[in-house]
Amino acid sequence: STNAKADKTNFLQLVILKKVEVATYTDSQVVSDLEMDWESVPDPGLIGGDRQRRWQRLLSLLAQLGDNEQTALAACIAEPLSMMNPAASQLRVVREPDLMTNVVDDAAAPPYTVAIIRAERGAVKLVRIPPARLAAKAKAP
């Protein structure tokens, strides 16, 4: 029964749609995540088509690696996505709200957000931006 529950959870993670968003800003601009202008990267292929299903599996894997904090592996997978838009400064994977999610899931931070640092000769480095989490300050003695 534990395997059946895990299989159902894995299936639901693949069904929940995800999208890639990129933000563009100059080095002199430092803005918060809420002020940033995020643009969606269009899904390849037709809805329900083979290419779109593969795209959703890639984004599901990227989101799962982001949730599990496996930064190096997620960066290897996200590097080609960062090269799709040469002007992008940040990239994130966002879960789309649908009938299978609830309000808590919809309000959750994006599972994977990276800053894109472009070096000479087209080299790209990705730096993970951790999601905002609740934290408590230590009391002063």
Relative orientation angle of helices 50-67 and 71-83, to the nearest 10 degrees: 140
DSSP 36-57: S-EEEPPPSS-TTSHHHHHHHH
Span 113-135, pLDDT tens digits:
888 888 888 788 888 888 776 66
* pLDDT tier for residue 14 given thresholds of 50, 70 and 90: very low
Residue 36 to residues 29, 75, 91, 92, 136, Cα–Cα distance (Å): 10, 22, 11, 12, 27
* pLDDT tier for residue 33 given thresholds of 50, 70 and 90: low
Span 79-108, pLDDT tens digits:
888 888 888 888 888 887 777 777 776 677
**Which pLDDT score is estimated for 8?**
45
